[in-house]
Amino acid sequence: MGVVLDKDSNVSLQHVPYKGAGPAINDLLGGQVDVLITSTSSVAGFIQTGRMRALAVTSPRRLGVFTKVPTLEDLGYRNARFEDWYGFFVPAGTSPERVALLNRAIVQVLQMPDVVKTINEGGSDVVANTPEAFAAQLKQDISRWSQIVKLSGAHVD
């Protein structure tokens, strides 16, 4: 995401790699880094307690503890719409019947009001779709992120 902001603005961000959100959050709170781009769920508690200040969300709308935080689109960054998501995966070769059974159970849970409320309060939307729709979204995201990685010049050491 930082590379897209770099390209769309006159802000220059330096990427600092971390092995997960935890160490990055610690360094932000400790003053070792000035800004953090991470999932809303990993920082919602820090926002609620006032230990962190949210500057913008990358999602198309504001949710949960982020209702007063502008979206990047609100701030004029039209190409900076990024949404994090969580998905359920099974081993390749899992029978279609088993996949359908698991999908029905997951969708049922994701429609429970208390589950929806908890997820929304963390700054995320509930999307309870089909395995086919999720696969299409995954394919689209891989294509988009592949282009962003190429743009960034990042490579595996």
Determine contact, residues 2/15, Cβ cutoff 8 Å.
Answer: yes
Do the domain assignments include residue 62? Answer: yes
Domain interval for residue 56: 2-152
Specify the number of domains making up the chain: 1
Do the domain assignments include residue 157? Answer: no
| pLDDT value for 148 | 80
Do the domain assignments include residue 69? Answer: yes
CATH no. for residue 92? 3.40.190.10
- 110 burial type by CB count under 10 A (0-12 exposed, 13-18 middle, 19+ buried): middle
| pLDDT value for 110 | 95
pTM: 0.69
pLDDT mean across residues, the chain:
87
| pLDDT value for 52 | 95
- Can you list the residues of the chain whose pLDDT is less than 50? none
